[in-house]
Amino acid sequence: MPLLKFVIFILSLLPFAWYGWGAWHDTLGANPIEAVTRGMGTWTLNFLLITLAVTPLRKLTGWHAALRLRRMLGLFTFFYAVLHLTSYLWFDQFFDWGEIARDILDRPFITVGMAAFVLLIPLAATSSNFAIRKLGGRRWQALHRTVYAIGILAVLHYSWLVKADQSQPLLYGGILVVLLGLRAWWREVERREQLAGKYQPKIRNRIIPIQPRR
């Protein structure tokens, strides 16, 4: 697992390196600023969906070690989101805060994009084991379920940005629907098993049956 995590860490930095190289050597086309801003945004969405895919991967394949990669992938989501936002604030708006505020209020795709980023901040800030202990498992899980709303906002942001050709936003939206749909289905199956008295959660290597609700 340490070797796998190292390989994925290096691979996750490749998009950043590619855009950095392209900006330095002027190979990003006629509008390099737009290329960097959109590229970082696209990779933010890529990593968000990859992170959301970890749990279905574990459930469908039984590869429980995949959960050890989720935190790192989630932090890379935040890393590329910061780069995406920074490129917009710096290269597009030149830190003109008045213009940025008007942009957020007047352009819906900027509004939902900013909302998604704001919701990402507490998830990144509480990604450590220390935060899990301080918050408690239930509260930590409840907080990190906001990633589902972030995914919806991110796809909306991309869709409203593109406007014309919706093929890629629809692809991302379809993947998100599948990932969230699987979770909803598994939660419903778990609820039905609880009602039937069949659900048996594992607690510290012991299986404790849950009695059906009266």
How confident is the prediction along the chain (214 residues), in pLDDT tens digits per residue?
789 999 999 999 999 999 999 989 889 888 899 999 999 999 999 999 999 999 999 988 888 888 889 999 999 999 999 999 999 999 888 899 999 999 999 999 999 999 999 999 999 999 988 998 998 888 998 999 999 999 999 999 999 998 788 889 999 999 999 999 999 998 888 888 778 776 555 544 443 333 434 3
CA distances, 76 to each of 50, 121, 159 (Å) = 10, 12, 22
The two tokens of residue 204 are 């510290």
d(Cα 47, Cα 69) in Å, to the nearest integer?
12
d(Cα 108, Cα 3) in Å, to the nearest integer?
42
pLDDT at 77: 97
The two tokens of residue 176 are 């998100």
pLDDT at 53: 95
User: What DSSP state is assigned to residue 128?
Assistant: S
The two tokens of residue 172 are 């991302």
pLDDT at 211: 40
Contacts of 139 by beta carbon, 8 Å cutoff, 6+ apart: none
3-class SS of residue 11: helix
